[in-house]
Structure 1
Amino acid sequence: MKKRMRKKVEKQADFIQKVEVFLIGNSLQTKCHIKTKEQHPPYKFAFYVYKKGRLEAVAKSQYTKFDTNQVQLTEGGEYFVKVFVKNDETNEVTTKISQPVQKTLIVDI
């Protein structure tokens, strides 16, 4: 890999520091932590929720200024979130995928 390309890839990987995913009831909640020192950063966030075994996202959000997202889950299974962070000034998009989280359905018999 060329040095210039390697630096760009490392820069993008470091920009999104962490993607937290957790379940509260039937809600899958996501929080994206980015590395910025600006008080009012020019970034927008989009969240795509995927279920293991499916190629298409089960939920997609539009770009918003909020670094959090919430989706109601109706099925059990393993889910993960792909976060897109867009710089409004340069239109550069950085992505990061969360760790998977398991949604278990409890059924009374």
Structure 2
Amino acid sequence: MTEVRIAGLLGALLAAGSGLKTPTAVENKVLAIIHLYVEPNKLLRVAETLKEMPEILDVYEVTGDYDIIAIMASGNINQLRELLKDKVLKTEGIKSSVTTIVLQTHKRS
């Protein structure tokens, strides 16, 4: 496939509203890193629920003190609070959470 064809397909996807998560897609957003402690038998269900939320950029199953880490973007701090309170933390199976707000991004791949 030629570069011109790839560029054309990419342009068509973007014009159709397909979301590509790039650094510029989260520019001027409040980013939060959410560490979630989840009931063991609900781990997959929680991950599936989180990944369907448009504000959640990434969902990771991890080792350590928590079971899932999710990266979330919101328009402002008030919206972040509402999303956490009304959507994320109401997800069945989440036992507790710790949320960290990103102050500055020094590198993003």
Q: Under TM normalisation by the shorter chain, which class is it?
A: under 0.3
Which one has a larger percent strand, Structure 1 or Structure 2?
1
